[in-house]
Chain A
């Protein structure tokens, strides 16, 4: 019984490590193709359709979720701030939450769901219908042809979509705070401006590059390695979203820790009420 349990643990660990090694090789080959031929016309001509699919078609969903989350933060924080007579400072905490955490994480999670799922389903279907093998036998590396443009599009557009999500979130918060709850517009923008530094805005944008890279690599890898049939593709889509979501949340924790330490080390601690 005990030996069987140990054998199973060993087997699972072994499989997990092998899959991780496989993923690292996949990511390495993607980066290698990106460096060697990513900027050639042959690759760039494939980029525009992906940018449209990943970027333009994500605008409504990211805009709407960003705006509503901004509105919710506004409602929730207003009550607390009003209790201590500081409702004019609503802008600072809303702005800080949105640009540091809500904007990048929310935009990335929405992308993982909308784009990541679609990428895995598309590439997974190509895998089970032998279209990936067809590319290989025609002398075309599917990583160069399929993964590099999708990776590049996610890498470039996740920060842009993050900025877009930041803007809609802040506008949503402003609308509820100023137009509905009666916070004066002048102090709202004044404290919003003074509560946040360029450092925090950059922090959100920089980490969204990594989130975008993780979404593209995980989704494409899952599509390339999905099991046979509709069941295999469906399972790969679910695994792709779960893995992308978890990697975003875990990476976000480490980014928060590193950015916080760097900021305190460089500029010292600072309060939103300062």
Chain B
């Protein structure tokens, strides 16, 4: 049975239709990668899964229960089973790294301070940053910030980790560190991962399955190998990073202006 299920999701902002009849089943323990151009609705889809946005129409199911219609307080309980890595990390900038990682533990468990401190150390070791506990988020580099955010996301040992463009803004080496971390957590914690990205190196490296969003619709669903061998023109161009003739013509028109 699928751990997460999206059933005919529609979402629009004003006149802009962002998700248009999205249905998707996500298996437990696997890594699903959602690819698509900027503005294609990838992050909106991620936020619908965790209830940060509500679909205009359609249903979101998690672990056999419908969650999109839950009241706020019930939804907050469900969210504790998710970890979410934001694009910029979203670390709380008024507290240090250790306090950031400890935050969900302080909020949702009755563990003693020394137990929490031990878990914080362990999570920071897992993401390869054992020595930054006392630093403030502003003192960290972009890659370090994302790894600390990941340590915070796994503090409560979630069943699902959602990654919103985890390698955006990082150099290729740092991106690879994040990819390795995603794989490591996948294997060590046996979590279900959903990664939103437009970095194809990252997608090929971590994905068990890749889906592509284009203009609010799912236009592809397959393995990394199937993505490489597909005949679908949209997917091929996205993977190779080639602009369409129409997009190039727009550039020429603007030059003439």
Also in contact, A129 and B79, with CB within 8 A (given A138-B107, A139-B107, A140-B107): no
Contact of A139 among B47, B76, B87 (CB under 8 A): B76
Q: Count A interface residues, CB 8 Å.
A: 14
Question: How many A-B residue pairs lie within 8 Å, measured between CB atoms?
Answer: 55
A57 interfacial by beta-carbon distance below 8 Å? no
State whether B92 touches A136 (Cβ < 8 A): no
The answer to whether the Cβ of B88 comes within 8 Å of any Cβ in the partner chain is yes
- Are B80 and A130 closer than 8 Å at their CB atoms? no
Q: Are A137 and B72 in contact, with the CB atoms below 8 A?
A: no
Kindly state the separation between the CA atoms of A130 and B77 in the bound complex, as whole angstroms.
20
B92 touches A137 (CB 8 A): no
Q: Spell out B's residues near A (CB within 8 Å).
A: 47, 50, 52, 72-73, 76-80, 82, 84, 86-88, 90-93, 103-104, 107-108, 152, 156
Q: List 15 A-B contacts (CB under 8 A).
A: A129-B93, A131-B92, A131-B93, A133-B90, A134-B90, A136-B52, A137-B52, A138-B79, A138-B84, A138-B107, A139-B79, A140-B76, A140-B104, A140-B107, A141-B73
A211, B209: Cα distance in complex, Å: 56
Are the C-beta atoms of A134 and B108 separated by less than 8 Å? no
Main secondary structure of the interface of A (DSSP, over half): helix
B107: chain A residues at CB < 8 Å are 42, 138-140, 145
- Are A138 and B80 interface neighbours, CB within 8 A? yes
Partner of B52, one of A126, A133, A139: A133
Q: Which has the most chain A C-beta neighbours within 10 Å: B76, B88, B92, B93?
A: B76
Cross-chain contact A139 with B84 (CB below 8 angstroms): no
- List residues 98-140 of chain A with CB under 8 A from any CB of chain B: 126, 129-131, 133-134, 136-140
Given contacts A133-B86, A136-B52, A139-B104, 15 further A-B contacts (CB under 8 A): A129-B90, A130-B90, A131-B92, A133-B90, A134-B84, A134-B90, A136-B79, A137-B79, A137-B84, A138-B79, A138-B84, A138-B104, A139-B76, A139-B77, A140-B76
